[in-house]
Chains A and B, each alone.
Chain A
Amino acid sequence: MNGFLKYFYKRLLQIILTMFILITLLFFMFRVVPGDPLSMYIDSGLDEEATEVLLQQYGLDKPIPEQYIIYLKKVLRGDFGISFQYGKPAINVIGGRFWNTFILMIASLFIAFFTGIVGGVFLAWKRETLIDSLGTTIVLIVRSAPVFWTGMIFLSLFAFRLKILPLGGMNTPGTYFPNQLVKFFSIDFLRHLILPALTAGIHSAATPLLVMRTSILEVIKEDFVELARAKGIKENQILFKHVMRNALLPTVTVFAVQAGLAIGGIVLVETVFRWPGMGREIVLAVAARDYPVAQTAFFLIGTMTVIFNLIADILYAYIDPRVVWN
């Protein structure tokens, strides 16, 4: 247990350092880009006085180093500032969208890893047959296709031709929900979730699937499999009880990486399916130079990636008894 504590502290320190670098990068990244938050509102004809008041309000009238110090202090207190576009705390802007994205992401990761693991096992089982090569090819094609393209194909098929699923959005326009929870558990919501989750899901299913297939092919050659066969255990049982458990390890690592990558894809999926999530908000915030919102969103994504990595590490040790804490 001492080893675990030591490991834990080390990881904690690492996380703190990572977050600090992330926070700093986020600050400078947006300020290096030309353009400023008020340039978006040219057509509205804001006059000089109003512009000055706004800059002051945004804290952009101060020199960059001073802005950075203020920003650091605020972030430590969990304050990401007021959104330039929405005139309310950035965390509230993102907060509302975060859960929408989170649900979509969880749904799509579930699809990805479910089809990935099952499909990987299946293809490995059918190794070197026509099914295997056909399956691998299809998976590669799906992964290579841009996710927005797949989304549009799904839309035109299921929403336009067959008319069985909605065009986009999170619920049928004009539906009122007393609160978020009721919304997330409504049938209407789930119907809207299917296409975007499927699009993002099958797109990221390829990596776990291929990893799973490869690692099963490796494990299957091991002596203990031979031994199990010799003991007369059924093929099915060998596959699921012995081979799969051992082959899962690399897939868990992939999970962490994939979860981070999934966000990138989800930005596009959200745009195609009019999903009111964080991804669309990021695009808007960057275009409008709404630094607080963009920073908050990226901060959350970064934090999520870090947490997923941590989970993967812990899971890894849980699944593989050979891993020791140090």
Chain B
Amino acid sequence: MKSKYRMIIILMLLGLLTLSLSVFGEGNKSISLPEEAKVPQINYWITSQTYDPVRYEIGLMVAEKWKELGFDVKTTCLEWATMSSKGMKAHEHDVFMIQWGGKAERIDPFHWLYTLHHSSEAASGKYNVAGYENPEYDKLAEGFVTNTDLEKRREYAFKMQEILAHDVPQPPIVHRVVTHAYNKDDFENVVMAMGEGLNSFWNWINITPKGDRKILKYGYVGDIKLLNPLTTKTGADIYILNIIYDPLIRIDVNGKPQPWAAESYKQIDERTVEVVLRDNMKFHDGTPVTVDDVKYTFDLAKEVKAPYYSSKIKYLKEVKIVDNKTLRFVLVEPFAPFISNGLALVGILPKHIWEKQYIEKGAEGLLNWDNQPPIGSGPFKFGYWRPNEELKLVKNDEHFNPPKIEGLVRIPYAQAYGVVQGLKAKEIDGSGWSLLPLQIEEVKDARHLSLGRIDDQGYYMLHYNLRVAPFDDINIRRALTYAIPKKKIVQLIFEDLAVPAYSVVAPVNKFWHNPGIEKVGDNIEKAKSILEESGFRWDIDGHIYYPENY
């Protein structure tokens, strides 16, 4: 008897199952969507965990949210050089993430607003990686570059930030809080400058020893590459060259250009800047710094197309010597960032040394010259350099603004963890390598260490490619960007040692940052409604399809 009931129940269950399946199947058919309307797969490149753990984690969190919206996201880990040459240079990407450094010469947001977004930079090999082309934006960008009135430029910059925040061609994600550790028992008057932290020039001339140990040992990941300012390609070299060589102007801690090797400077007209050279400056070999040296430096840098300087001085037409103290820089066309990007970057070279080398070696030979010892006029003189071991600089007593420390030893580590251990064991007194939350945890018990913090004006940025689907669609871009959990990333990955980024000009850059822009991010509901309102469709499995008649 019992087995009979069981049979009936089983049969009924089976029937029910078949019924429900067929209903389900019917439903599926009724909303099946044409394959060609499907939004194409997104190829998303990130770097490996060992290269940068933070970037890797952010990458995964972003991909997760995009999948939630129904996008088919394929995440691939690429080695940096590969990603850089395929994405940054060839523009063959869909989307990838990089970290842009916030060095002092980028406080004038020319790089962020013009170089990364003007349509003339969209060709392969150039820096408008997204391929963003917007005539209205271009016009503003040109105004921003050519106008010499600061307030006017700021107006342009504000409007441009507004447009970028809305169009999201390549959204910034977060600004790190740059965290640099130093030995507070032995040194004081540390300066954490915007974008550069302890690496800043201002730190080197202000940091003061408390006791008898007057030589500061400074750790970093990786050694400098070379000391020839005309051939360097890295910011790490520039940090050091910047204290050996004096530029005419320096960007102060607040981001404002201040005369340095120049006594004063003024804009004569929109294409001419007049500079008066400071009196009584001497190179480290005792020869005086003259207007001839200045002119020669810029002429030479232009002639050999010095890689680090080239983009910053390409609008310079000629340098005219007015009298033995005065020079005029004449530009091809009005270019406002010339002062903050050009004059503030190029250090004055001694003509008598470089001219001799030039005659002996020729232009090409000059580019393979190691320039040792480098002779500049800056506050530090070259001591010695044993590559991958240590570099020593000593105080230049004759400088008009001599440093408080007697010298500086730069010690390169192979890995960030070496820096952390070195800090703990007092092998070094400080480091310009920004510490990650885990590393900060590790140095917490070291009583002699203090942490300096400042928001970075650089950021982790997603580079979309507007040349290909689906990133050519503004609604998709906006939805994808709204889905990025910026605040969560700050909380979970950086343990609050970061700030969410909405504008390509950082909030820490107070003068240029526009606080009133649309804050795109952290809102997956908004992302969904953008897609729904513009007619995007989803199938039963949640895959996203283009609107009808798209």
Contacts and interface: CB of A to CB of B under 8 A. Distances in A.
Q: Do A and B bind each other?
A: yes
Interface of A: 33-36, 38-51, 53-54, 57, 82, 85-89, 93, 96-97, 155, 159-160, 167-171, 173-174, 176, 270-272, 274, 276-277, 280-281, 284, 287-289
Interface centre among B99, B111, B305 (most CB of A within 10 A): B305
Given A34-B82, A35-B82, A167-B425, A46 B115 contact: no
Given A57-B367, A169-B411, A174-B390, A46 B310 contact: yes
A96 B226 CA distance: 14
A280 B388 contact: yes
B231 interface: yes
Nearest to B106: A45
Q: Which interface class (under 10, 10 to 19, 20 to 34, 35 or more) fits B? A: 35 or more
A49 B314 contact: yes
Contacts of A46: 233, 307-308, 310-311
The B interface is mostly helix, strand or loop, or mixed, namely mixed
Contact of A44 (B79, B86, B308, B390): B308
A271 B126 contact: no
Contact of B84 (A40, A97, A167): A40
A168 B228 CA distance: 29
Contacts of B367: 57, 87
B125 interface: yes
Nearest to A85: B225
Interface in B64-107: 79-82, 84-86, 88-89, 98-101
B428 A173 contact: yes
B217 A280 contact: no
A44 B310 CA distance: 11
Interface in B404-434: 409, 411-415, 418, 421-422, 425, 427-428
Given A35-B79, A280-B388, A287-B81, 8 more contacts: A36-B85, A44-B233, A48-B126, A54-B233, A57-B364, A87-B368, A159-B425, A170-B389
A212 to B, nearest CB: 34
B235 A44 contact: yes
Nearest to B222: A284
A269 to B, nearest CB: 11
B418 A274 contact: yes
A38 B9 CA distance: 73
Nearest to A57: B367
Nearest to A96: B387
A36 B215 CA distance: 39
B366 to A, nearest CB: 10
B314 A274 contact: no
A176 B384 contact: yes
Nearest to A270: B414
Nearest to A88: B370
B392 interface: yes
A47 B314 contact: yes
Nearest to A277: B388
Given A87-B370, A173-B390, A173-B428, A49 B310 contact: yes
B225 A43 contact: no
Contacts of A82: 368
Interface string B357-393: 0000000100111100000000000001011111010
Contact of B226 (A87, A176, A280): A87
Contacts of A57: 364, 367
B538 interface: no
A38 B84 CA distance: 9
Contact of B100 (A40, A43, A93): A43
Contact of A41 (B215, B307, B409): B307
B305 A42 contact: no
A155 B364 CA distance: 46
Contacts of A51: 125, 307
Contacts of A160: 421, 425
Contacts of B413: 168, 274
Contacts, number: 152
B187 to A, nearest CB: 15
B310 A39 contact: no
Contact of A35 (B81, B222, B427): B81
Contacts of B308: 44, 46
Contact of B392 (A33, A170, A174): A174
A187 to B, nearest CB: 17
B225 to A, nearest CB: 5
A38 B368 CA distance: 17
B86 A34 contact: yes
Contacts of B364: 57
Contacts of B222: 284
A38 B125 CA distance: 10
Nearest to A273: B414
A41 B425 CA distance: 33
5 contacts: A43-B99, A43-B100, A57-B364, A87-B367, A167-B421
A292 to B, nearest CB: 11
Given A44-B307, A50-B311, A274 B414 contact: yes
Contact of A97 (B99, B101, B388): B388
A168 B418 contact: yes
B471 interface: no
Contacts of A274: 412-414, 418
Contact of A87 (B88, B215, B228, B425): B228
9 smallest CB-CB distances across A and B, nearest first, come from A35-B81, A276-B388, A47-B311, A39-B84, A50-B310, A39-B85, A50-B307, A41-B233, A87-B231
Interface string B311-322: 100100000000
A82 B81 CA distance: 20
A320 to B, nearest CB: 42
A281 B388 contact: yes
A288 B126 CA distance: 20
B41 interface: no
Contacts of A39: 80-82, 84-85, 88-89
B484 interface: no
Nearest to A288: B81
Contacts of A86: 225-226, 370, 387
A56 to B, nearest CB: 10
A284 to B, nearest CB: 8
A51 B85 CA distance: 13
Contacts of B174: none
A43 B414 contact: no
B81 A36 contact: yes
B545 interface: no
B306 interface: yes
B126 A35 contact: no
Given A40-B84, A42-B98, A174 B215 contact: yes
Contacts of A155: 421
Nearest to B428: A173
Contacts of B215: 174
Interface centre among A41, A50, A272 (most CB of B within 10 A): A50
A97 B409 CA distance: 20
B20 interface: no
B127 interface: yes
